[in-house]
Amino acid sequence: MTLLLPPSARLAWWGTAWLRGHVVTDLLVDAVLGDDATHAVAGLPGADGTETVVGALARLRALGATGFGATFPAEGDPVGLGGPPAFNADALEAGEAVVVLGAGLGLVPHRTGAATVWTVHPAAERRQLPDVGEADRGLRAALLGSAESLARLDVARWRPEVADRLMDLRHRPVLAAPDGVPPRCTDLAGRALQATEIVDLALEDEGGTLTAYELEERRAALVPLARAGRRALVAACSPEAWPPS
């Protein structure tokens, strides 16, 4: 199974690796773009207009950047955010962002067609971060709890694909990670993507739900898993939270 990391996760992993000298520029660009045609960065201090990924990273390095940490917030769960309000609001609307460590800036991706434009904001580097071990344990518990709840709700009847994913959790996504990302974080990110995929599939439509009560039960069973998946991905894609190598 192959799943693509969100843009902020890709930038966090590969941008940090590039800043630390683990990957060359061509590999960085290919990894950050993913399936997109192009990326641009708008609003960098000292820049006139937009910058390419390479130009923006070079400018950020000159501004003191030492790494990139991802955030995947949701309403009521600002995990990975530290402010100020303008950055938090944009990140919450996009569902993701990165904090540029050492530069006091945040980048929020906005997709337009096959392109992604990153908007730059001032951002606090002190932010709410789960510990990798804590996020790992939380994700395992949420997967177990959601699987039990969905089985009780007869998930196989209204969403057989979800039942299949829950039965196949040992087959994790294959993620390409650059040197410097701890293997434990690569594994955690893969399981976080599995959790996110399960939630997205289960909420894609009303399936076999007959009543509003049943639909609310389904959502309630998935909320803890969605939260745990986001927190796990934040921990896996935030260098400040990584265990010592």
> Two tokens at 168?
């196949």
- Classify residue 192: in a domain, yes or no: yes
- Classify residue 244: in a domain, yes or no: no
**Percentage of residues in the chain with pLDDT exceeding 90?**
67
Lowest mean pLDDT among 81-90, 141-150, 190-199: 141-150
Domain boundary among 93, 122, 151: 122
Lowest mean pLDDT among 52-61, 82-91, 170-179, 185-194: 170-179
Residue 2 has pLDDT above 60, yes or no: no
Residue 67 has pLDDT above 80, yes or no: yes
**Is the same domain home to 88 and 47?**
yes
Q: Please name every residue paired with 77 in a beta bridge, in sequence order, or none if there are none.
A: 74
**Is the same domain home to 78 and 158?**
no
User: How many alpha carbons fall within 13 Å on the CB side of residue 231?
Assistant: 25
Instruction: Count structural domains, the chain.
Output: 2
Query: What strand order describes the sheet that includes 67-71?
Result: 50-52, 38-42, 115-122, 105-112, 97-101, 67-71
**Is the same domain home to 111 and 142?**
no
**Is the same domain home to 153 and 200?**
yes
- Catalogue the E-assigned strands of the chain: 38-42, 50-52, 67-71, 97-101, 105-112, 115-122
Mean pLDDT of the chain: 88
**Is the same domain home to 150 and 92?**
no
Angle between helices 132-152 and 160-167 (to 10 degrees): 130
Cα gap 15→20, rounded to integer Å: 9
**Is the same domain home to 21 and 44?**
yes
Domain boundary among 69, 104, 122: 122
- Classify residue 21: in a domain, yes or no: yes
Cα gap 53→217, rounded to integer Å: 43
Q: Which residue range is the domain that position 199 belongs to? A: 132-239
Cα gap 42→46, rounded to integer Å: 11
Q: Which residues contact 100 (CB under 8 A, 6 or more apart)?
A: 60, 63, 65, 68, 106, 107, 123
Lowest mean pLDDT among 91-100, 196-205, 219-228: 196-205
Give the model's pLDDT for residue 73: 97
Cβ proximity of 68 and 99 under 8 Å: yes
Helix (H) or strand (E) holding 186: helix 183-202
Cβ proximity of 149 and 226 under 8 Å: no
Domain boundary among 79, 100, 122: 122
- What pLDDT, in 10s, does the model give residues 177-196? 999 999 999 999 999 998 88
Cα gap 192→143, rounded to integer Å: 10
Q: Please name every residue paired with 98 in a beta bridge, in sequence order, or none if there are none.
A: 70, 107
Q: Is 179 exposed, middle or buried (0-12, 13-18, 19+ CB in 10 A)?
A: exposed
